[in-house]
Structure 1
Amino acid sequence: QVQTPLYVWQRNIVGFQILYALVYLVYGILLMADINTGPVFNSQLILMSGMVLYVAYVAYSQPKVLMGFHLESNYLKYKNSGLTNSYSLELKNQLVNLLDEEKIYRENDINLDSLADRLGTTRHSASQIINEHFGQNFFELINSYRIKEAMEILKADTEREKNIIDVAYEVGFNNKVTFNKSFKKINEVTPSQYVKALYS
């Protein structure tokens, strides 16, 4: 089966958006002129419904298409941020030190603003550093470090003296639900299943 190139899917989505914008413009003109807008209004609904269904289909069959839009939007978002390559690397190294040496992810109230303060930069720049160098957002990065340490703790606990919830709190999580969800997202198993597999 021949695969449709990604740019074709993207072009079609943009085409839907442009067509909808034109129909909406006509609708606005007719509305201001006090002319019957029924057919045009119905066309809007049909186009919008069609676009939603098409995007849903593309998201299911070709997720890379929407990923491309996401990557492009991130590029445009940070294009004019003013961060030089050297300063970007400097901030990245500082961040790695904060995570690896100071283990700031253990602080259950850590957020992007407080991280930016420690890096001596803005919230926007801190977000850019995480996105560009780690390919994650702030919470994904923090939780990945938390889960990594939790796995190490559980693996080292050969006597099984620690409760899973205690480990979750130790690495910075506020509750078991978030811990379980993050753990399963990264490892595709729950913490309980992970522990069971270790000692089975």
Structure 2
Amino acid sequence: MAPSTLLLALCSGIASMLGFLFVTAITQADRQANRWLGMFYMCLACTFSQLFLYKAEMSQQLPLLVHLLELPVWATMPCLYLAVLTFTGQRVSNRHLVHFVPAFCFLVYSMLYLMPPLMGIDRPAPRLPFWLVVLIRYFYACQLAFYWILSYLKLSIHRKQLLRVASSIEYVNLNWLKNFLLAVLSMIVIKSIPTQPVSDSVVPLIYFAGMLLLGYYSVRQQTVHHLDLATVNSLKIDQGHMDQSYIQQGYKQAMERLDPEQLEKLQRKVLGLTVEQKLYLDPSLTLPDLSAATGIRVQDLSYVLNKGLKKSFYQFINELRVEEAKILLHSDKVKTLDMLGIATHAGFNSKTTFNTTFKKTTGLTPSQFQKLANASMATR
């Protein structure tokens, strides 16, 4: 068996194994999301099995199996999209079954195609018009692109929502899922390129590398705390829940309700209490937490930060943490703390975020700032 053919078999095996692991919920958290991810892998395994049969020139001997493997292919990207939805904190309901309409239509056609041979009826398969065959072929390609774009946009929106309500997003920003989608994109691009004889052996190798990346990112995924995701999608206030549409409506009402004088007053209150009580030192601080501490409605607080201070909640809190870090770098504590210690004492829970935010705010890395601070003290 040619190495390229063997690689396709390995891809199918890896996808099947990952599908089984995630469908059976190997992780305790994000079970629904991981089950959808497992279904995606199961469908992907069918795709690679089909490619293997074509590559091994066995499709003519096993036409029934080839057609059966085609059925789950139409559900591959919808499963991935629903996985992204659940990873970002949304619930999958019956209305989401509409995404599987193309797969259902193909199933109906398959019943007409498969049932007669299975029942021993010698009847040719129904012929589809040429235009419909072409439409189906291009529809599948469009489906791949459509659901990938939809998944990536959903993930991007999720990150923007996080910046509105969370001060630390390292453990909820789903960076692993972003890398996962990029790996899927590379495989979609390869599949869309017409196969040339010279690349006939290279494509399976790229697929194999892509499967290794998918497995790495999905197995190494960080557990997302659903309390944090709930903060994004529904803010708990006074024992009641407000969805995003209600929050946006409240934001507009705040715009109409607060005049410039009131806006400035609330702005001073937010800044004063946050700095005075050093609320920013809590790495898990959220917009509802700050709302409770200041006594300002979440909608009004969001409006004050965006309109008054011209900052997102994430930017507002982390800039205060940078100021705290600058004070620590000028103090004697710098003698007993490394940069991670400085970051932790300033309210950051990630050294990477600390370095990135510090450089963006001051134009210097923490180490460069410390050297300048030491040089300044030495000249005094």
Distance (whole Å) between structure 2 residues aligned to residue 128 and residue 78 of structure 1? 10
- Closer/same/farther in 2, CA of residues 98 and 79 from structure 1, 3 Å limit: closer
Length-normalised TM-score, structure 2: 0.30
Q: Which amino acid aligns with 1:180?
A: N
Structure 2 residue aligned with 1:89, among 255, 261, 264? 264
Give the superposition deviation at 1:79: 7.3
In structure 1, what is the equivalent of residue 281 of structure 2? 106
CA distance in 2 between partners of 1:183 and 1:159 (Å):
16
2:352 is equivalent to residue 181 of structure 1: no
8 Å CA contact 1:105–1:172 kept in 2: the answer is yes
Mark the CA change 1:158 to 1:104 in structure 2 (over 3 Å): closer, same or farther.
closer
Q: Report how far residue 173 of structure 1 moved.
A: 0.6
Corresponding position of 1:56:
none
User: How far did 1:158 drift?
Assistant: 7.8
2:337 matches 1:162: yes
Q: Deviations over 1:20-67 (max 9, x none)?
A: xxxxxxxxxxxxxxxxxxxxxxxxxxxxxxxxxxxxxxxxxxxxxxxx
- Does the aligned pair in 2 maintain the 1:168–1:175 contact within 8 Å? yes
Cα-to-partner distance string for 1:112-168 (whole Å, 9 max, x where unaligned) = 111122222322211111122211111111111110111111012387222111111
- Confirm or deny: 8 A CA contact 1:106 1:170 kept in the other structure: yes
Are residues 118 and 167 of structure 1, via their aligned partners in 2, closer, same or farther at CA, if it must alter by over 3 Å? same
Matches of 1:159 and 1:85, distance apart in 2: 42
Is 1:172 paired with 2:332? no
For residues 333 and 254 of structure 2, what CA distance do their matches in structure 1 show?
Answer: 49
How far apart, CA to CA, are the structure 1 residues paired with 2:278 and 2:334? 25
Aligned positions of 1:49-68 closer than 5 A? none
Tell me the number of residue pairs that the alignment of Structure 1 and Structure 2 aligns: 125
TM-score (ref. length: structure 1)? 0.55
Aligned to 1:153: 328
Moved over 6 A (4+): none
Unaligned runs of 5+ in 2: 1-250, 376-380
1:169 partner SS? helix
Q: Is the 8 A contact 1:130 1:137 kept in 2?
A: yes
Which of residues 307, 315, 323 is equivalent to 1:140? Answer: 315
Amino acid at match of 1:170: H
1:180-199 aligned at under 5 Å gives the runs 180-199=355-374
Q: Does the CA contact (< 8 Å) of 1:78 and 1:128 recur in 2?
A: no
For 1:158 and 1:199, how far apart are their aligned partners in 2? 13
* Amino acid corresponding to residue 139 of structure 1 in structure 2: Y
Deviation per CA, 1:6-31: give whole Å up to 9, x if none: xxxxxxxxxxxxxxxxxxxxxxxxxx
RMSD: 2.3
Structure 1 residue 102: Cα displacement: 0.3
Q: Is the 8 A contact 2:281 2:347 kept in 1?
A: yes
Which residue identity lines up with residue 325 of structure 2 in the other structure? A
Partner Cα separation in structure 1 for residue 333 and residue 347 of structure 2: 22
**After alignment, is 144-153 or 119-128 more displaced?**
119-128
- 1:91 touches 1:119 (CA, 8 Å); kept in 2? no
> 1:99, 1:195 → 2: CA distance?
26
Cα deviation, residue 90, structure 1: 3.4
Contact 2:334 2:342 in 1 (8 A): no
Q: Distance in 1 between matches of 2:325 and 2:263?
A: 29
Q: Is the 8 A contact 2:340 2:351 kept in 1?
A: yes
- State the alpha-carbon separation in 2 of the partners of residues 126 and 159 from structure 1: 35
* Matched residue type, 1:191: P
Instruction: Describe the shift of the 1:183–1:141 C-alpha distance in structure 2 as closer, same or farther (beyond 3 A).
Output: same
DSSP-derived class of the 1:99 partner:
helix
Distance 1:159 1:146, change over 3 A: closer
Deviates more, 1:84-93 or 1:125-134: 84-93
Specify the code of the residue in structure 2 equivalent to 1:105.
Answer: Y
| Identical-pair percentage | 29
Contact residue 81 and residue 125 of structure 1 kept, 8 A? no
Query: How far did 1:192 drift?
Result: 1.4
SS of the residue 1:199 aligns to: helix
